[in-house]
Amino acid sequence: MTAAPITRSVWRSLRRDTRSLIGLGVITLIVAVAVFAPLIATEDPLRINLIGRLAAPSSAHWMGTDVQGRDIWSRLVYGARVSLAVGLVSQAIALSLGVAFGLLAGYYGRWVDELVMRLADVTLAFPTLLLLIAMVAALSPSLGVVLLTIGIVGWAGMARLVRGQVLVVRQLEYVQAIRALGARDTRIIARHVLPNVIAPVVIAATLGVAGAIMAEAALSFLGLGVQPPTPSWGSMIADGRDLNLLRNAPWTSVFPGLAIGAAVLGFNLLGDALRDALDPRRIETAAPIAGVPTPEVEP
């Protein structure tokens, strides 16, 4: 089966899946809010108004104000930019490192495989949040440090996934035939191995964005993420974590918490739908490895 029919089959499956429609809808809404934040925000998210502190939701302040009188809706809108940036950029870093190391380990094996997998084992041996806290605390907390740290910590799981897929693909007859005909390793990896491991990587990356958003919120809640006064959903929850505030002004924490939950739910639903849509057993007349190319001889 060629790539085009498989793509149509996957797209048809996604259109029929309620989870993908809900996930895409939530993600699209959050992206639109982040992109058009200056037009949607009703006030400057950094403007302090102590006279109007802890105001309840009203027509003037749709989601109320925080302990410093800042408009929660405006801060929520601009905070979407931080969460999306962390989720997408950190996963791009983890994806790049994980795919590169996973391809090398799975294709070449031997000492390369041992070195990469032992590094991955060391990384995965530590609890993710504790490792993130240690790395960020050792540096100066900022948005750039958070992006880089979450990306670096997340490479190990991606590398193990890619390695496992490559170990299967490299033993296929057509890959062995291409190697026997003298094709270079770089050509085999780029043209014939990598395309056949893309599906699980896409699924893992989609689910990883949700995890990165949660990680950033946790770091910001602890004061190790994006630094004030930059709006961040995690730091907004931290500002309202006082028990008295939770009782008398719950909107200071409820709304950013709902925003985090919606973003994570959207990416998780889309990832689950992609996992089912890309399952070869659900693709009509799909071969075990879709789109097996014709062997070519390297000139």
- Does residue 252 form part of some domain? yes
Task: Count how many domains the chain has.
Answer: 1
- Does residue 9 form part of some domain? no
**What pLDDT, on a 0 to 100 scale, did the predictor assign at position 5?**
56
Decide if pLDDT at 72 tops 50: yes
Give the pLDDT confidence of 249-298 residue by residue, as tens digits: 889 899 999 999 999 999 999 988 888 887 666 554 444 444 444 444 44
- Does residue 139 form part of some domain? yes
pTM here is 0.83
Do residues 94 and 128 make contact, with C-beta atoms less than 8 angstroms apart?
no
**What pLDDT, on a 0 to 100 scale, did the predictor assign at position 6?**
58
**What pLDDT, on a 0 to 100 scale, did the predictor assign at position 224?**
86
254 burial via Cβ count (<10 Å: 0-12, 13-18, 19+): middle
- Does residue 78 form part of some domain? yes
Residue with tokens 């057993």: 281
Give the pLDDT confidence of 223-257 residue by residue, as tens digits: 888 888 888 999 899 888 877 888 888 898 999 99
- Does residue 292 form part of some domain? no
Where does the pLDDT of residue 16 fall: very low under 50, low under 70, confident under 90, or very high at 90 and above?
Answer: confident
Do residues 77 and 33 make contact, with C-beta atoms less than 8 angstroms apart?
yes
**What pLDDT, on a 0 to 100 scale, did the predictor assign at position 97?**
92
How far is 238 from 214, CA to CA, in rounded Å?
Answer: 14
**What pLDDT, on a 0 to 100 scale, did the predictor assign at position 35?**
93
CATH number at residue 264: 1.10.3720.10
- Does residue 81 form part of some domain? yes
**What pLDDT, on a 0 to 100 scale, did the predictor assign at position 223?**
85
Decide if pLDDT at 30 tops 80: yes
Considering Cα of 58, then 64, then 67, then 73, what sign does the dihedral take? negative
Decide if pLDDT at 34 tops 50: yes
Decide if pLDDT at 83 tops 60: yes
Decide if pLDDT at 81 tops 70: yes
Domain with 103, as residue range(s), is: 44-269
- Does residue 289 form part of some domain? no
Decide if pLDDT at 27 tops 90: yes
**What pLDDT, on a 0 to 100 scale, did the predictor assign at position 154?**
87
- Does residue 196 form part of some domain? yes
Where does the pLDDT of residue 209 fall: very low under 50, low under 70, confident under 90, or very high at 90 and above?
Answer: very high
Decide if pLDDT at 193 tops 60: yes
**What pLDDT, on a 0 to 100 scale, did the predictor assign at position 264?**
93
3-state SS record for the chain: CCHHHHHHHHHHHHHHCHHHHHHHHHHHHHHHHHHCHHHHCCCCCCCCCHHHCCCCCCCCCCCCECCCCCEHHHHHHHHHHHHHHHHHHHHHHHHHHHHHHHHHHHHHCHHHHHHHHHHHHHHHHCCHHHHHHHHHHHCCCCHHHHHHHHHHHCHHHHHHHHHHHHHHHCCCHHHHHHHHCCCCHHHHHHHHHHHHHHHHHHHHHHHHHHHHHHHHHHHHHCCCCCCCCCCCHHHHHHHCCCHHHHHHCCHHHHHHHHHHHHHHHHHHHHHHHHHHHCCHHHCCCCCCCCCCCCCCCCC
How far is 56 from 65, CA to CA, in rounded Å?
Answer: 7
Task: State the average pLDDT for the chain.
Answer: 84
